Structure formats: structure tokens, C-alpha cells
Amino acid sequence: MTQSIDMAKVAVLGFGTMGAGIAQVIADSGRQVVVLETDQERLAAGRARISAFLDEGIRRGKRTEDDKAALLERISGVTGVAELAEPIGPVDLVIESVSEDAEVKKPLLSEVAGVVGAEVPVVTNTSALSVTDLATAVPNPERVAGLHFFNPVPLMRTVEVVRAFHTDAALVDRLVSFVESLDKDAAVVKDRPGFLINALLIPYLNDVIQAYDDELASAEDIDVALRLGLGYKSGPLELLDMIGLDVHLHATQNAYEATRDPRYAPPPLLQRMVTAGALGNKSGRGFRVGTDEEDR
């Protein structure tokens, strides 16, 4: 892939689970990536996530050591907004993937937008916040849109391209082409609570949590029944553990506050588990990991 491709140099803000996955798939397309994090320790942790994923591909015979080295070589890291252009030069696209908190995202988006140039698209990977609201922090809000990747990013093919109130139509087209160049499928959606997929997924997961709390079946039996009965790749409680119970709670709270639709009201069990620190795989306790049925 040549550097003449559209959006050849990309800045990714945040190098956590999602940011690392996004950086990986962009670098895998042949593009140069610069990642912004708060410190060198977090940069090293994100790089280790990518390295571990690539090592698994090598073990399965789908990657080579040379592939891994070349991909990692295309990813640079910085710890200051002013440094974004230093490793790879001026960037063509900014993708924000920091914590799901508008009070964190908006100042960062405003600062970065002032550094990268007035014409550079600034997109957010938010799964629950209003893209239109986030765009109010950015001069020229027509250059703001959503690119909602799904976890794990290297394996999940769908990316929602979220058109906010001011988003320029030409930018939507460019982002669709960008997503397709990553060997993924773009779905253009409006800026509504939950966008498309989460708007349908959140009520389903909430219903499953309530069914589990009502003791309709064990966690394992719920997952087996819905995975095999509906033909899904994973059971809903297993999926919640992977997503993070705190992440799902935040998403369903935001959707409920925006709509007051009772389908989005957080189930009491979900709230209790998050309060208790049972966050799923990340904490070692959740619906399917490290928790006894009696813990309900």
C-alpha cells in the first residue's frame, strides 16, 4: 500500500484495549499511526497488547515475525498533543478512543483539533455519547463524525460511521472508503443514543441480565441456549464479561438518560455487580468468570 492512499497518516488518541486494536488494524493497512497516551507506561502496555495479538497469529500460522515487525514499526507513540506531528509528520485523520466521559473527551478533542489543522477530520470511537455534542468542542464541526469500532477490533468486521448534525456528507463518504480499506464493512448511521447496533443490543443484554437475576437459568445455560438457539458466536453473558460490565452500565445509563426509554434502564443486578467491582474479564469476576451463582 502506498502513501498516496487517502488518510495515510492517522493519529489515535488513547492506547487502551480499543485504541490498541484500532491502531493495529490501521497499521495493518500499510498506514503510519501515531498514538497519544498520558505516559510511556501506557504506551508500552498498548504496544504489548498488539504484540500479544500478533504472536497468537504467528502461532496459528497466519502471521510471520517479519509481518509483526513491519506492523509495529508503523506505530509510534507520544505523550503530548504538541508532539503528534513529530514521529510521522502532519496527520490526515484523528481517531479519539479515550474513556467514555464527555468531560474527558471534549477538552482533548478541542486541543487536538487546534494542533492538527482546520481541515483534518476528527472522529470519535464513542459507543454511547452524542457525537453532535462532542463536535461542539471542535472548530469547524462539519469535520467531526463517529467511527464506532467493536471489540476485539482486529476480528470484528463492522464499523459504524456516525453522521452527526453538522457532519459534511463528503467526509462520510471518505470515512466509508477508509473503513473498507481496513477490510471492514461500514454501516452509515445517524447520531442517536446507541447508534444502530447498541440501540438494539443494549435492551437485549439488559433482558438477559434480568432473566439471570430472576433465576430462569444458570449463566452457562443462558449462554448455551442463546448462542446455539440464535446462532450467535458467543453467549450474551460471556459477551458482557468481555465488554466490561462497567462499560455496559455506562452505555445503558447514557441511553436511558437521553431517551427515558425503560428498555435502557440499567438492571439492578448490573448496578450491584459494578459497585462490587465485578467488571467481567478485566477484574476476574463477572457473569461467567470468578463468580458463584449465589453471589447474586
Sign of the alpha-carbon dihedral angle for 158, 152, 227, 193:
negative
No. of helices (H) and no. of strands (E), the chain: 11, 8
The pLDDT of residue 243: 86
Report percent pLDDT > 90 for the chain: 89
Band the pLDDT of 69: cuts 50, 70, 90: very high
Active site residues per annotation: 127, 148, 160, 198
Band the pLDDT of 293: cuts 50, 70, 90: low
The pLDDT of residue 3: 43
User: Contact at 8 Å (CB) between 115 and 168?
Assistant: no
Query: How many other C-beta atoms are found inside a 10 Å radius of the C-beta of residue 259?
Result: 14
Bridge partners (DSSP) of residue 255 are none
CA distances from 155 to 75, 118, 177, 231, 273 (A): 19, 33, 19, 18, 28
- Is residue 170 exposed (0-12), middle (13-18) or buried (19+ Cβ within 10 Å)? exposed
Type of residue numbered 197: I
Band the pLDDT of 100: cuts 50, 70, 90: confident
Q: What is the pLDDT of residues 146-173, one digit of tens each?
A: 999 998 899 999 999 999 999 999 999 9
- Tell me the C-alpha distance between 197 and 105, whole Å: 22
Which helix or strand (DSSP H or E) is residue 35 part of? strand 32-36
The alpha carbons of the chain give a radius of gyration, in whole angstroms, of 19
The pLDDT of residue 2: 39
- Tell me the C-alpha distance between 192 and 212, whole Å: 29
CA distances from 94 to 15, 67, 145, 173 (A): 13, 25, 11, 16
User: Contact at 8 Å (CB) between 18 and 149?
Assistant: yes
Q: What is the mean pLDDT of the chain?
A: 94
Strands of the sheet containing 158-163, edge to edge, are 75-78, 32-36, 9-13, 93-96, 122-124, 144-148, 158-163, 185-190
- Tell me the C-alpha distance between 45 and 279, whole Å: 20
The pLDDT of residue 296: 57
Q: What is the pLDDT of residues 21-53, one digit of tens each?
A: 999 999 999 999 999 999 999 999 999 999 999
Q: What is the pTM of this model?
A: 0.89
Q: What is the pLDDT of residues 107-137, one digit of tens each?
A: 999 999 999 999 999 999 998 899 999 999 9
User: Contact at 8 Å (CB) between 174 and 192?
Assistant: no
The residue among 201, 176, 200 whose CA lies nearest residue 187 is: 176
Look at residue 182 and tell me whether its pLDDT is greater than 50.
yes
The residue among 251, 145, 257 whose CA lies nearest residue 191 is: 145
C-alpha cell belonging to residue 219:
449463566
Q: What domains, with CATH codes, occur in the chain?
A: 9-190 (3.40.50.720), 199-283 (1.10.1040.10)
